[in-house]
Structure 1
């Protein structure tokens, strides 16, 4: 079982080894520290000595500009993307997605709370969830989103 202190200590040792310059063996030492950390249940640091990424690529978050609500048709910010600008949305009103379409992942960067609904009419008889507007990335909605409301702060 890994604990926060074990993870932090191993990451600190690894980071310190990576950042020590001008030692002929520092790249080797960094790799050794990384292997040691992995052997003790600690994940590898994202950058090795020399600035190269290690391990599989980190998952990418959906690109969505400030002031926008972005919805994707598939999980993990994939599929058709729909972008809604705060300046063009009716606050406190139900906005249905086009008939026959749903969203499975979203980013809320509107600066306002947004409630997503399983119902295309924003009915609360189905599933619904409110997400704060200070920057939320949701790679997988627990239900098919068919409508949303942007709320006044």
Structure 2
């Protein structure tokens, strides 16, 4: 693990790091968000019974769009030519939905922030689509699950 914060220069000022000398490697990252809601709300999401339309399709599209727009939202992220973005949705139990966002590219910098942004905005979109029928929805987790590629290699939540 690095001893320094890469987005700070020697004077402690924020800056975008120079990746021009880094090797191009295949890089992937997967992040997750978990959204908790009432069982009745989850049932309506699954069965398509909410007034705003197809919730799950909208959530997937929002996650993909957000991953592509990450450098517009996170100030020091490099603009990337993502080659793959997937947003998966899994029902965990009668009141929780897991959103998984995976991003990939061949490039000089990682895609962790893109995966985290995609999962986060997908979760926020799920909240927005359901808030009319459930005021108590909570986003209970957003985290990086794994990343591969680059100088630091692979990392996953299972092996730290």
Q: Whose helix proportion is higher, 1 or 2?
A: 2
- Higher relative CO (CA 8 A, sep ≥ 6), structure 1 or 2? 2
TM-score under structure 2 normalisation?
Answer: 0.23
